[in-house]
Amino acid sequence: PKTDIVFLKVHKSASSTVMNILFRFGEMHNLTFAFPIGGGNQLFYPHHFLAKFVQGFSTRSPRRFNILCHHMRFLQPEVQKVVSSSAVYFSILRNPVQLMESSFSYYRGTSAFSRARSLEEFLSQPYLYYNPTDSNRHYARNLMTFDFGFNPDGEVSAERVQLMLKAIEASFDLLLISEYFDESMVLLKEMLCWDLDSVVSFPLNIRDSSTKSRLSDTIVEKIKEWNRLDWEIYTHFNRTFWERIDRDIGRERMRREVQALRERQEELARTCLQGMGSVAPKDIKDSSLRPLQHGSAKILGYNLKQGLDKETESMCRRLVTPELQYSSALYKKQFAQKHP
C-alpha cells in the first residue's frame, strides 16, 4: 500500500469525505500528517502553499510527512519540500455548475456574494458584486482554478487553457470526479494498492437538500460562462477519467467493484448508524459528532447505534467524525507533549 500522499482538497467537491478516508488510513497505519502550524484546518489558505506553513517543518532539518491533505492553494515546488519524492498526488473535481450553487450557499458572507440576494441576481451583473482585488473573491469565480494555484480571472484563450491542463496533468497522478464518487474510490484504491475497507465512507459535510436550489437552463449557461476556466478543467478531466477506466479497469469490472463498495457501505451503515442515514444538525445527539455549520447551508451528520462493542464503536466513530474534530484529535496525537 502507498503511504506517501498529497491530496489537493478542492472546496465543495466531496473532499471532506475523501479527507476522512485519508485520516482513517493514516491513523490505522501510524502515518504522519503535514498539519498547519498550531493545528487548524487550512494551510494559510488562500495564500499559495509554503513549506513553512507546516508544523514541524524546518529548513535546517527538512522532515518529510506521509500525508498532506488540508486546504491549501497548490504550489508544487513548496509541496515537494514536505513530502517524499515518490508521493502520489491526487485531487477531486466537481461540475462547476453545482460547485457554484454550493459555494453561493456556503460562502454567503464573502464580499462578492453578501450583497446579492440570490445567485440569479449575482449572475445577472457579476461585476456589480465581484471585485478581482478582494481577498475572498475566489469563492465566487473559478474556485477550482484558484485551488490548483492559477489565476481565476485569467483570460480564457485556447493556449492558456492548454498550459493549465498540461500543468495539472504533469503534477497529479489522478483526478477524481465527485459526481462519480464510487468509481473514483475504485480508481483510488487501485492506484494506492489499498483494500476495499480503506476507501469505504459515509458522505460527510453534505447539505440538507432543502437548502439546495434548482437552477434554470439560463442560469446553468451563465455559471459555465462565468466559470469558464473551471468548466475547461472539469470537462477535460471528466473525459480522461472515463478513458482511464476503459484503459485500466474496463466498464464491466468497474461495475462489479462499485457494487461491492456499495454493498460494504450498506453493511457498515446497518452496523454503525441509527436509521441508516444522515440527520439534521439539531438531531445529532452526540455533540462531538456535530459538523461545523457554515453560511446558509445546513450540514448533516450522523447518530451512532447504542450498545456497540468497543472495537466496532471506535471503527464506526471514525467513519462519522467530522473533519475538524478528527483533524484536531490527530494533531494532538501527533504532537503530544513528550514528557521526559
Handedness of CA 287, 288, 292, 297 (dihedral sign): negative
pLDDT of residue 338: 53
C-alpha cell of residue 300? 448533516
C-alpha cell of residue 326? 478528527
Rounded distance between C-alpha atoms, residue 185 and residue 207, angstroms: 21
CB 133 within 8 A of CB 111: no
Q: Consecutive 10-residue runs of the chain (340 residues): their mean pLDDT?
A: 97 93 98 94 96 94 93 98 97 97 92 94 97 95 98 96 98 98 98 98 83 88 98 98 98 98 96 90 92 79 96 97 95 76
- Name the DSSP letter for residue 91: E
pLDDT of residue 205: 82
pTM above 0.75, yes or no: yes
**∠ Cα 309 312 314 (to 5°):** 105
pLDDT of residue 19: 97
pLDDT of residue 337: 62
301 forms bridges with which residues in the sheet?
279
Which residues have a Cβ under 8 Å from the Cβ of 332 and sit 6 or more positions away?
Answer: none
Domains in the chain: ranges and CATH: 5-335 (3.40.50)
174 forms bridges with which residues in the sheet?
90
C-alpha cell of residue 23? 485520516
Residue with cell 455549520: 293
Rounded distance between C-alpha atoms, residue 203 and residue 11, angstroms: 15
